[in-house]
Amino acid sequence: MGKSLLVLGAQWGDEGKGKITNYFSEKADVVIRYQGGNNAGHTIVFNNHKYALSSIPSGIFDENVKCVIANGVVLNPRAFIEERNQLIKQGFPCNNLYISDRCHVIFDHHIELDRLNEEGLKDKKIGTTKKGIGPCYSDKTERIGMRMCDFIGPNFKNRYKELLEIKNRQIRSLNGKEIDYETSVLEYEKLADLIRPMVTDTIALLNNERKSGKNILFEGAQGSLLDVDFGSYPYVTSSHVTSGGVICGTGIGCHGVDEVLGIVKAYQTRVGEGAFPTELLDEVGELIREKGHEYGTVTHRPRRTGYLDLVALRYSILVNGITSICLTLLDVLTGFEEVKVCVAYECGDKIIHTLPASDDVLKQCKPVYKTLKGWSIDISNVKTFDELPENAKEYIRFIENELEVPIDVFSVGPDKLQTIVRKEIF
């Protein structure tokens, strides 16, 4: 049996999963996306080039790595082909892509419904990426979705026609823009022809690879606090972001994951609506946003910023079974005189250490902070933990002690080389 590592976001997304997955993909034979879709924006930097991936796994740059889009993912065929074409243009042949015959397809009607649903929610809107993710997963659970095997199959035209009639009725009732069958079916047929050679039984592929001793790397999208079950509902995405998502999103079985690496940004960010107890609406928050270039990769929205929230992180560790942490964007905190870390919430007249289920209650929670000393020396070139200034070391030690999970990896810049492994985990 080879090794397997799950890389997942422990906060509200954009923790640097793409960078870290890409870093570990050197040791992987297979890299797999298991949930979400092109709502994800994973940035990878190496050899002075920056790449942004949305649907394609972050191992794609190495031809020897099999990159799998597994059954738990929702795939927009047009966006996928555009992303692949872009990579081919950049010199990566992309002959190493495998798409599950069971993953669900995102169509234009899903995108239109995402837009209309958001508009309808008015001031209660989720703040989605408007990529059709929610409507596609809804169709899946309503059992009216279209899977890849049917998208590339001989009955596609009929099935799509039936489906579109239902969906256009929905769109009409919301005064939206209906999708034209004749033009869209032609485009989808062309896309299906392009995609068909990549479609396979990824459950068999994956289990065979694992049995034959290959190393498997699972790449999470979004963050645990956006999980449809465990996240700050209703301000969440529609997929199983947490580690359970790997099992239902790939078919690897419940013994398929050896290590769970939680990617933790050294502070906290969030895009979209919902409670955010440590949010900073002042110049410190603004400074973090500017230093960390905290603008969405997919929607270019400014990300909300705040101090690290250990209450939320403890919860994340629990629900995922996180065995190891990678602390990213530590360099962004350089230059602050002091850095605060939230260790508990003040909720009414109580001090609590767990995350409340209700977003309304979470909105009322005030962070209880521990203040640590900052550091001013540039850390973006350090190669070992020992080279860090004492206060940065103390920041890491403090988080480890509070969370009782080792920070085995940390990151001090966007480049692949700016990654420091303290203990080998894969």
Applying CB under 6 A, which residues contact ligand GDP? 9, 13-19, 41-43, 45, 293, 297, 328-329, 331-332, 411-414
| 252's tokens | 């690897």
Backbone angles phi, psi at 12, to 5 degrees: -105, 30
When the beta carbons of 61 and 336 are compared against ligand IMO, the nearer one is 61
Q: How far is the CB of 21 from ligand IMO (least distance, A)?
A: 10
Asked about 229 being catalytic, the answer comes back as no
Asked about 42 being catalytic, the answer comes back as yes
Amino acid at 83: E
Q: Cα–Cα distances in Å, from 339 out to 159, 279, 289, 335, 392?
A: 56, 14, 15, 10, 10
Q: How far is the CB of 382 from ligand IMO (least distance, A)?
A: 26
DSSP state of 316: H
Interface segment toward ligand IMO; rule CB under 6 A; list 125-133, 165-173, 305-313, 343-351: 125-133
Minimal CA–CA distance to 67: which of 243, 223, 209? 209
Non-local CB neighbours of 330 within 8 Å, separated by 6+ positions:
266, 379, 392, 395, 396, 410, 411, 412
- Write down the residue that tokens 């079916």 correspond to: 185
Residues in contact with ligand IMO, shown as a per-residue x/- string from 128 to 147 under the rule CB under 6 A: xx-x-xx-------------
54's contact among ligand IMO, Mg ion, ligand GDP, none, with CB below 5 to 8 A by partner kind, is none
Amino acid at 399: I
Residues 89-118 touching ligand IMO, rule: CB under 6 A, are none
When the beta carbons of 117 and 192 are compared against ligand IMO, the nearer one is 117
Residues in contact with Mg ion, shown as a per-residue x/- string from 288 to 317 under the rule CB under 5 A: ---------x--------------------
- What is the rounded distance in angstroms from the CA atom of residue 85 to the CA atom of residue 50? 16
When the beta carbons of 199 and 226 are compared against ligand IMO, the nearer one is 226
14 lines the binding site for ligand IMO (CB under 6 A):
yes
Residues 223-252 touching ligand IMO, rule: CB under 6 A, are 223, 226, 235, 237-238
260's contact among Mg ion, ligand IMO, ligand GDP, none, with CB below 5 to 8 A by partner kind, is none
40 lines the binding site for ligand IMO (CB under 6 A):
yes
Backbone angles phi, psi at 304, to 5 degrees: -75, 140
Burial per residue of 274-300, b for 16 or more beta-carbon CB atoms within 10 angstroms, e otherwise: bbbbbbbeeebbeebbebbebebbbbe
406 lines the binding site for ligand IMO (CB under 6 A):
no
Q: Which of 5, 14, 135, 310 binds Mg ion (CB under 5 A)?
A: 14
411's contact among ligand GDP, Mg ion, ligand IMO, none, with CB below 5 to 8 A by partner kind, is ligand GDP
Q: Show the CA angle centred on residue 138, arms to residues 232 and 182, nearest 5°.
A: 140
When the beta carbons of 168 and 316 are compared against Mg ion, the nearer one is 316
- Write down the residue that tokens 């990159």 correspond to: 67
Asked whether the beta carbons of 95 and 61 are under 8 A apart, the reply is no
Q: Which of 28, 87, 111, 126 binds ligand IMO (CB under 6 A)?
A: 126
End-to-end CA separation in angstroms for the chain: 13
Residues engaged in binding ligand IMO (CB under 6 A): 9, 12-14, 39-42, 126-129, 131, 133-134, 221-223, 226, 235, 237-238, 271-272
Interface residues toward Mg ion, by CB under 5 A: 14, 41, 297
Query: Hey, which residues are catalytic here?
Result: 14, 42
